[in-house]
Amino acid sequence: MNTPESIHTLIIGSGLTGLSAAHYLNKAGVDFMVLDRNSQPGGVIQTQTEDGFVYEVGPNTGVVGSSEIVELFEDLQGLCELETASEKAQKRYILKNGQWEPLPSGIMAGVKTPLFTLKDKFRLLGEPFRSKGKNPHETLSQLVKRRMGQSFLDYAIDPFIIGVYAGDPDILIPKYALPKLYNLEQDYGSFIGGAIKKQMQKKTEAEKKITRKVFSAKGGLSNLARALYTKAGKEKFRFSISDLSVQPEGENFRISWSAEGKTHAVLANHVIFTGGSFELKESFPFLEKTDLEKITNLKYAKITEVTLGFSHWKGMELDGFGGLIPSREKRDVLGVLFMSTLFENRAPEKGALLTIFMGGIRNKKISELTDEQVKEVIKREISDLMQLPDFNPELFKITRYQHAIPQYEASSGVRFETIEKIEKKYPGLLLGGNMRDGIGMADRAKQGKMLAEQVINK
């Protein structure tokens, strides 16, 4: 057998994590190759264009929650442009008793809102004085009820968690799922007090970039993926591959795969994996079963994403980010994003582009619905929720994800430890992706840079 080509680093996956890692390796002049079974870069990021609509079938919006995501756009100047959402994005609706209510953004609105009970509004005044939790595995529900009250859990945190994780606050553990929130209590003894103190702290140049604004890329998120792919060097990417297998060989790794009916192999000093935990067993057959089980027990929320395009919008005024639907409301959709309000040129003038999420960790049955059943549910729900006199979208797309969002629940600590143990045992192997370090796009850019730095600094 021929000796395979040697490369410094092999990246598995060309989603945002793999692309970010590739970008920083390229900047450092490190020799690398990227493999992906998809036929194009971006992973779940996929923007499509049809009949005057520009729509996403994966993530729709990110939050500028790390300096690394801003840095990427800065490095990609001339290839793609950061688009922050219109000011209207600040208005967010929550459904209560079948009515959309704006989530209050100031003190007066907070006093008046019908979303929370009077008792909990008073109780909130005592939040800075409540003692801090001692159980690191307290669930998000327990934490929020303890500090803020049931109605804040039901009509603020529950819909927020549906929007971010398609998840369940009864299961998610703040220490892993919302570490910033968890640390506010642990470090400052209070969410409110901690947030105020953090606001007043002097920020580094990198921290100043973290605006927490809603973002996309001009023309859609795929433009970010394509720009990273182009800048990192298209020739370093191999798409539509299958049967990927990694085996340690001395201090290196032998990676083999199939493409276009042929088997290929390379030897690499480093392997960066950026796929889901469910991919590990097949791609890394040498990993011990007992270790694997501690990683592959990670649960993922299934999501059915529906995109609706209307060339003449006749429903309610789309004057905000969108609306989230608390689980208490018992509806068949999780939320609606007003994409044509947020970003430019997503729908024809006078038209509208909506993205609707269904399913999630609490409503698994939705993923079993046929297209016809999804259409029926959407027609019923959206006509009512968006006050549409008649339901006649020109664009109707359904995209299903079996492994959309990993749920950082109680087993996460053991998962993180096990990953570290494996990385110690096999120096050169780095297991990334959204099974650790956060699920949002800003987290992915941050992890991609960190993975690249680990390789560069070795």
Ligand X SMILES: Cc1cc2nc3c(=O)[nH]c(=O)nc-3n(C[C@H](O)[C@H](O)[C@H](O)COP(=O)(O)OP(=O)(O)OC[C@H]3O[C@@H](n4cnc5c(N)ncnc54)[C@H](O)[C@@H]3O)c2cc1C
Residues contributing to the site for ligand X (CB under 6 A)? 12-18, 35-38, 43-45, 58-62, 241, 244, 274-275, 279, 283, 303, 305, 401, 404-405, 433-434, 439-441, 444
Nearest approach, Cβ of 189 to ligand X (angstroms)?
29
Q: In the bound complex, what is the minimum distance in angstroms from residue 213's beta carbon to ligand X?
A: 13
Closest CA to 332 of 370, 372, 304: 304
Q: CB 175 → ligand X: shortest distance, Å? A: 19
Closest distance to ligand X from the beta carbon of 284 (Å): 9
**SS3 assignment for the chain:** CCCCEEEEEEEECCEHHHHHHHHHHHHCCCCEEEECCCCCCECCCCEEEECCEEEECCCCCEECCCHHHHHHHHHCCCCCCEEECCHHHHCEEEEECCEEEECCCCHHHHHHCCCCCHHHHHHHCCHHHCCCCCCCCCCHHHHHHHHCCHHHHHHHHHHHHHHHHCCCCCCCCHHHHCHHHHHHHHHHCCHHHHHHHHHHCCCCHHHHCCCCCEEEECCCCHHHHHHHHHHHCHHHEECCCEEEEEEEECCEEEEEEEECCEEEEEEEEEEEECCCHHHHHHHCCCCCHHHHHHHHCCCEEEEEEEEEEECCCCCCCCCCCEEECCHHHCCCCCEEEEHHHHCCCCCCCCCEEEEEEEECCCCHHHHHCCHHHHHHHHHHHHHHHCCCCCCCCCEEEEEEEEEEEECCCCCHHHHHHHHHHHHHHCCCEEECCCCCCCCCHHHHHHHHHHHHHHHHCC
| Residue nearer to ligand X on the CB measure, 151 or 277 | 277
For ligand X, give the closer residue by CB, 309 or 335: 335
In terms of CB distance, is 224 or 347 closer to ligand X?
Answer: 224
What is the nearest approach in angstroms of ligand X to the Cβ of residue 300? Answer: 9
Based on CB atoms, which residue is closest to ligand X, 60 or 327? 60
| Cβ 437 to ligand X shortest distance, Å | 9
The residue behind tokens 């999780």 is 334
- Please report how close the Cβ of residue 59 comes to ligand X at its closest, in angstroms: 3
Please, what is the minimum distance in Å from the beta carbon of residue 135 to ligand X? 28
Would you say 128 or 233 has its CB closer to ligand X?
233
Least Å from the CB of residue 128 to ligand X = 30
Of 65 and 348, the one with the shorter C-beta distance to ligand X is 65
Which residue lies nearer to ligand X by CB, 95 or 404? 404
Shortest distance (Å) from residue 394 CB to ligand X: 22
- Residue 49, Cβ neighbours under 10 Å: how many? 12
**Which residues contact residue 94 at a Cβ distance below 8 angstroms, ignoring those fewer than 6 apart?**
100, 101, 102, 103, 115, 155, 156, 159, 323, 324, 325, 326
Cβ(413)–Cβ(421) under 8 Å? no
Which of 116/160 has CB closer to ligand X? Answer: 160
| Residue nearer to ligand X on the CB measure, 223 or 283 | 283
Closest distance to ligand X from the beta carbon of 244 (Å) = 4
Nearer to ligand X by Cβ, of 190 and 283: the residue is: 283
Cβ-count burial of 361 within 10 angstroms (0-12 exposed, 13-18 middle, 19+ buried)? buried
- 148 vs 306 by CB, closer to ligand X: 306
